[in-house]
Structures are given as C-alpha cells and as structure tokens.
Amino acid sequence: MVSDTCKQTIDTIFDSYNECSEYKCIQQLKKRNFYQDPITFKLCGEPNSTITDSSSQIESDNVYGVLMPIKFMLRKYFESDGMMDMVLKSLKFSTNGVFRSLIDGSIWQTRTSNMSCKTVIPINIFFDDFNTGDTASHHAKTTSICAIYLNIPCLPDYLLGRLSNILTVGFIKSQDRKKYSNEHVLYKLIEQLIDLEKEGLEISHNGTNIKVFVTLGFVLGDNLGVNGILDFVECFRANFFCRVCKRNRTQTETDSREYLHTLRTYHSYEEDVQINLISQTGLKGPSVFNRIPSFHVTFNFVFDIMHDLFEGVCLYDLQHMMHYFIYTKHYFNVKEFNDRKNGFDYGDQNADNIIHDIQEHRIKSRKLKFSANETKTLITLLPLIIGILVPEKDAVWLLLCTLIKIVHICLLREIPFELVNELRTLINVHHVEYVNLFQDNLKPKHHNLLHYPTAILKGGALRRHWSMRFEAKHK
C-alpha cells in the first residue's frame, strides 16, 4: 500500500530526470527515506575445486542470502494512510463469542497476557516455492525459489487477501534451503523477528511517535513446507507425521476424533528433542523459530484448508461418490452428469472455475483431478446439479451433505463458538461414514481435519489464514 504522499514523491523523483538511472532513483528514494538496502548475509563457504598451474586446489565459494529490511518496511507500511488506525482497531478481542482472527484465539491471548501494557501486533510469515524457469524441464529444481512473505492477519476481511497488504520478506534458493539447515538459512530472519518483539519500532501516528511491538503469529505454507520449515518430518508416510499431535500413522487411518492428550506441548516437545529419534518423535531437531521469545512451534496450530480440503478430503470423497452414484447405484451416467454440469448456471463468480468434462476411465479408476478452485466450486454446487437424481435418504448423499456443511463452516470468516462444536461432530460423522461406506483408510489430510475445531479455538477462523495463501495467490 502506497500513501498519496509517497506516490507524489516517487512521481517527482522520476519527473526530475529525462533519463533516470536505477542508481539515481535509489539515491533519491534513500534521501527521502523511502528506500533501504536489503540485508545480505553469508550462509556458508561452498568448497569448489579449481585447477591452477597444473595443480588442483580447493577454494571456497561463499553462499549468500538476501533479506528485505523488515523493520523499515513495516514502519512505512504502518505509516501509510489510515493503516495504523485500522490495525489498532483490529487488535480488540471479540466480546460476542465469535472467532475472527488469531487475536480471538487462546494461543494469542496466552502469549500476550504479560504484554498488556504494550501495543503488540501479530504478523504471519508465509513460505512458498515457485519455479522461475520451465517447470517441465529436467533442471526445474535448480531454478526453484522459496519466497517468504508476511502479512497482518488481524486486518479487516476486505483487505486481508489484497496483494498490496502482503509484503515480500525475501527469497531463498530452494536447493540451498534443503542443502543447509534452517539454522543457517533462517538465522537472519529470526534475528529480525526477535528484534521486532523485544525492541519494537517507532511509528509516526497522527502527528506523534508511538512504539509498537511486532511478534510472529503463525508460520504458514503447505503442509509439507511448514513441516520442513519447523523441522518436523517431511514425509506423510512417516510414523509420526503430524506436527500438532503424537498419533501414529496406523492410528490415524481410522481415527474419527481428536485425542487431546496426544497434542504436542512445550514439555513433550522438549522431551522429543532429547530422544532425538525421528521414527519415535517426528522431529528432525529443535526449531530455530523457538528462539523468538513468545513463540514456540507447538503454538503453530494452523492448517492449510486449500490442500487439506479442496485438494484432499473433498477430492477423496468425490472420487468414491461419483463411482458410487454412477456405477453402483446407476442414478445417472457420465454423459448425463457432464450435460447437467455444462448446462448449469454458475454465475459470474464461479464462471472461471467450472471443471472440465469428466472422462469415464477417471471415474472407474477413482482418479479425479481438479484444481482447488474447481473442487471448491463443484463440491458447493453438486447438490444443485445432481440432487434431483439422487434419493435424499441415500447414505452417500447424506455423507455429501455432511461434507458440504464442514466446508461451509471452515470457509466462514467469523465462526460462532457453537459452530465449533457442530464442526467437531460433523467431522466425526464424516470420518466414520467414509470408512464404513467406502471401505477405505483415512488419509493424513483426513487426520488434519480432526484438528480444525481446536485450531479455530486456538488460532481463530481458518479462512482468514487461508486468504493470504489461496485468494491472493489466484488473483
């Protein structure tokens, strides 16, 4: 977000030169305090073999990382038009039993209980890999970049997913992140986060200077990415793949409810660090994020509903349900479904997310493949497309209705307390019926879903965390 004053200054700078070089532009921005150089830091020295005068020598090529000046960026962001007033207003706890952002969750209230005399603003950090070259190339992995972003998770709904409110923190070469430990790759980021929480930053607000403290709320990303960043095991076939509880993989294949006594805690985490066996703990080692004074990885009770639901549970259900409706019960055939799908009025909002015609062999093999947006649209509108063809008391139809209720609750931006308990019941019913009706084991994404009610109580509405990852990513 750029203020009017900042925009006018930038326009003035560019108007000052007929041929404005990058160097001159940066110098002018620095002079007006609108620019600060990124932070370059050394990761390590990489051994490199060279031949000089017919002799082989080992030299060291230094590997560097680059990080944005987070403190400077946040100060300018907070000082932009009306932003600080908006942030301060959003820091108020809910008084009507509704969960909106992490401000209303028990984790944030516990972490800030001894900071009542301070203005503490949460930020979420988000990691996401992307390819800079041809994704089909054999060398695609060598061009992959891990981008790091941040946002203010308590902002009003209409601002949360806007790209202008998502700040770029830095970039890491994906191979470097995998080659070197998180300790080496992220230490400079952690230093800045510690400084923001301990020292805070001075903000010019309504003509006066105020001091605010900024602390890490959640670390976000896809399930595999978050596990890796927080130093949990990065294989969902592992015995203890879940980063929030200690149920083993065999147990999770039939679990229809959450076992609160198995949730990871600070003390159980420290015990697992001492055990130092991945097969028994699911931990690769202590996380560098635990250095942040008020943060601990066991507080990172947040999930990725884009992958868990729309590229996971919903897709698993649809594969079984479509096979059941078409080949077991013969309520309709593939052509009839495609015709009804294509003739349905989706409206402008969903027009770009209509699934392609489903091929018969994909339904027979139960291997449907849709994008997350396509799955979201289909699962929401499926009752209107085929509802007239399926008996309302059919067991699989009732399971579909249960799934849709789960999706609708998870997508709410504000969740009343009573709906949290209803969600817990719906998930239990869904998992029991899924196993019984389809004779199929539950997957890791089914297990993640069991933790959603607790995640809402601890961290606020799931949709608000998802907005940064999914809505902004697809704009």
pLDDT at 101 > cutoff 80: yes
DSSP label at residue 340: H
Count, residues in the chain: 475
Domain ranges in the chain are: 1-35, 39-231, 306-450
Token pair 């080496």 is found at 184
Paired with 216 in beta bridges are: 123
pLDDT tens sequence across 231-289: 999 999 999 999 999 999 999 999 999 999 999 999 999 999 999 999 999 999 999 99
Among candidates 262, 253, 304, which has minimal Cα distance to 452? Answer: 304
Percent of the residues in the chain that have a pLDDT greater than 70, as a whole number: 87
Quote the mean pLDDT of the chain.
Answer: 88
pLDDT band at 53 (very low <50, low <70, confident <90, very high): low
Distance (Å, whole) CA 327 – CA 140: 40
Q: Which of 10-24, 52-66, 344-358, 431-445 is least confident?
A: 52-66
**Looking at residue 466, what is its pLDDT?**
63
Count of CB atoms situated within 10 Å of the CB of 95? 7
Report residue 209 as tokens.
């200077």
pLDDT at 106 > cutoff 50: yes
pLDDT tens sequence across 396-440: 999 999 999 999 999 998 999 999 999 999 999 999 999 999 999
Among candidates 221, 263, 227, 260, which has minimal Cα distance to 245? Answer: 263
Spatial contact of 415 and 409, defined as CB atoms under 8 Å apart? yes
pLDDT tens sequence across 145-177: 888 999 999 888 778 878 888 999 988 888 888
Paired with 60 in beta bridges are: 47
DSSP label at residue 35: -
